[in-house]
Structure 1
Amino acid sequence: MIRSMRALAGLVLLVLALGGCARQPPEQRLRETIAQMQAAVEQGRPKVFMAAVAGDFIGNDGLDHDGLGRLLRGQLLLNARVGARTGPLTVEMGEGATATVRFTVLLTGGDGGLLPERGRLQRVVSHWRENEGRWQLYSATWSDG
């Protein structure tokens, strides 16, 4: 009886371990990357955010990877507290390892009080590619929403 309980417990642990190792679907990994980027902005961690931005990134008006990093760091310096709340993500998986994600984001900033002093709603269309299991943002456009 004890042996069969140990065997069952071992089997359950093996199944759980294998389930934990199972590769997540690409769309789920992409959604998690976006959530991590959002958290990085709110935590004031620009390096974490920029880790998911491709070196050849291009944005509005020719904004490149370095320019995006400077823009983000500047906003974090100007505002004691930055908020980024995304609306529902519309994910379109493309050919191969690419995706397009559309969403709205409410960006807020202020001195850290209870209410933000500034806010702006943006519509974002972002383009992603997966490389070695990691999603990277390579293009984005945004406009007032």
Structure 2
Amino acid sequence: MLRGRRSIPFLLLALAACGRKAPEDQVRAAFEACRTAVEAGDAARAAAPLDADFRGPEGMDRATARLFLAGLLRRERVGVTVIRNQLRRDGPDILQEVDLVLTGRGGGLLPEEASRRSFLLRWRQRGGDWKLAELQSPEGP
């Protein structure tokens, strides 16, 4: 009976390890939460996964990105449709390539209301969370 009690911590540790998601799944979940927040108009939740050292297009830092999101989502209802979402490991980081269709206030896919964009995102693990460290837009502004 004593042997059984000693094995309980090891059993709990093994169960906890089984419950962890793969890093790629964690990044997908963080991206989806951000996408959902953008569509809901919640700039604070949309900016939550930004790393303290975040870098975006044209030298955008975390504070600037948060202000940009707040201003955009206050004025505009944005729809985000994911066309492609591919992840791969790059050393300790995860790179995510996404193609999106962004729609404006009307929500339709008319040319004047829709924009197809591609982005490269670099995710970095900080503590137990994956944070968005860098966002690049290959086609420019």
Normalization by structure 2: what TM-score? 0.78
The 1-side partners of 2:16 and 2:63 are apart by 39
Q: Quick one: percent identity of the two aligned structures?
A: 27
- Residues 1:51 and 2:51 aligned together: no
Give runs of ≥4 in structure 1 deviating > 6 Å.
none
AA aligned opposite 2:79: G
Alignment RMSD? 2.3
Contact 1:125 / 1:140 at 8 angstroms: preserved in 2?
A: yes
5+ residue gaps, structure 1: 1-17
Q: 1:19 Cα shift?
A: 7.8
Contact 2:34 / 2:45 at 8 angstroms: preserved in 1?
A: yes
Query: Which of the residues 71, 75, 81 maps onto 1:85?
Result: 81
Tell which deviates more after alignment, 82-91 or 31-40.
82-91
Normalization by structure 1: what TM-score? 0.76
Q: 1:88 Cα shift?
A: 2.2
Query: Which of the residues 5, 12, 26 maps onto 2:23?
Result: 26
5+ residue gaps, structure 2: 1-14
The 1-side partners of 2:114 and 2:75 are apart by 13
Query: Which of the residues 53, 72, 85 maps onto 1:75?
Result: 72
What is the number of residues matched between the two proteins? 125
